[in-house]
Structure 1
């Protein structure tokens, strides 16, 4: 199955939202389950996830406001 730009953005948004929920619950992502996250690093991670989520929303909005590009 070939993923289009909208599909990719949707999948990325779902993953970022899941990471944000894990962060809010205090659950580390799978790749960091062994280590303890420094409070400063946790704050930076939360800010990064929220920025990424906002960027994805902006791209999704832009993608919906223009006709698809022709190859």
Structure 2
């Protein structure tokens, strides 16, 4: 069983909900990335005091950047809502 790639997911979302959905998704992803960037810089603390595993944060950031790239690629193929 194969998993759908981000492009097919975004195409399905766009066809079901319209191009505005992609713009909203892009906004949400950018907010999440800004929150990660604004988080406290890494400091050495014992594992027992971690609130979040830094590896998970890094993995989330990579996934968000990948999703953002897919959204931007899809938006390049679609007219913007204010252009319609």
Q: TM-score if structure 1 supplies the norm length?
A: 0.68
Q: Runs of 5+ in structure 1 lacking a partner?
A: 28-34, 65-71
1:15 and 2:15 are equivalent in the alignment: no
Displacement after TM superposition at 1:50 (Å): 0.4
What is aligned with 1:55? 70
Distance 1:52 1:13 in 2: 8
Displacement after TM superposition at 1:17 (Å): 0.4
Deviations 1:7-54 (A, max 9, x none): 111111110000000010117xxxxxxx82101111101101100100
Q: Runs of 5+ in structure 2 lacking a partner?
A: 1-16, 41-49, 80-84
Please identify runs of 4+ aligned residues in structure 1 that moved more than 6 A. Answer: none
Distance 1:9 1:36 in 2: 31
What is aligned with 2:19? 6
Alpha-carbon RMSD across the aligned residues, in angstroms, is: 2.1
Distance 2:71 2:18 in 1: 11
